[in-house]
Amino acid sequence: MCVPRALQKRDWLFDNAKGALIFFVVAVHASLIWPCTYKPLQAAVSILITVVMPGFCFVSGHLSSVHLTRTRVIRLFQSLVVLLLWQSLFIAVKIASSREVEHLAATRNLTARWAELPPKLAGQIEAEAATPWIPFAIVSANNPTWFLLCLIVWRSLLPAMAMLRRPLLLTVALALAVPFTDVADAGQLGTVFGYFPFFMAGGCIPRPL
């Protein structure tokens, strides 16, 4: 059977690993939304939380290219546009819901609706009403697109990092140093540098010709 040249260059091991990790990422998020009391399953989820995201960053690094061609620059720009559009939608929803959240928090002692809410949800509503927000806070800690932001930064830095003699050691040093700086409190920037060594480790593995 004749296989297209583009498919011959694919690394099927890492392609399949990425698909499996995507499934596990979704499973972990589902377990956080609908927690289970079954002890073995809780232990499995704890292990997945520790392993999945570093593994996903590693595979993403391996499947990324160190050559910043015109096509890849366009893809990075498209990813940035998607990030900004999603953040705009996120802000629009937050504006639309902020008045109702503030009303519920302000009348929590005067309405039966508040008493009917689960304690965890009531606490989240109060925290949401008390937390200020900044429009287009791309590096916000509550941003659901944090991994897309990480990919944009990592893939932009990968060509320059690949020119260094010990890029992996440098990213490890940055990850260890970030918790002792103000960057750790700057939204997702701490996460960007914290997971960068796993991405860089994957990028250091030669891809098949």
Count of alpha carbons within 13 angstroms of residue 65, beta-carbon side: 13
At residue 133, the 3 state secondary structure works out as coil
- CA torsion sign for 130, 137, 27, 42 is negative
| Contact (CB, 8 A) for 159 and 66 | yes
Tell me: pLDDT of 78 over 80: yes
Interval 96-136: pLDDT, tens: 666 666 665 566 554 555 566 666 666 666 665 555 555 44
Question: b/e for 81-100, b at 16 or more Cβ within 10 A?
Answer: eebeeebeebeeeeeeeeee
- pLDDT at residue number 136: 47
Region 196-200 average pLDDT: 93
For the record, the structure tokens of 104 come out as 């519920």
Q: Quick one: CA dihedral 195, 197, 198, 204, positive or negative?
A: positive
128 C-beta neighbours (distance < 10 Å), count:
17
Interval 14-40 mean pLDDT: 79
For residues 108 and 114, the answer to whether their CB atoms sit within 8 Å is yes
**CA pair distance 23, 16, nearest whole angstrom:** 11
Q: Do the beta carbons of residue 148 and residue 198 sit within 8 Å? A: no
**Is the pLDDT higher at 33 or at 194?**
194
Give the percent of the chain with pLDDT over 70: 66
Q: What is the pLDDT of residue 48?
A: 83
- Tell me the mean pLDDT in the region 42-62: 85
Q: Do the Cβ atoms of 132 and 98 come closer than 8 Å?
A: no
Of 64, 99, 196, 80, the closest CA to residue 145 belongs to 80
Quote the CA–CA distance of 109 and 105 in Å, as a whole number: 9
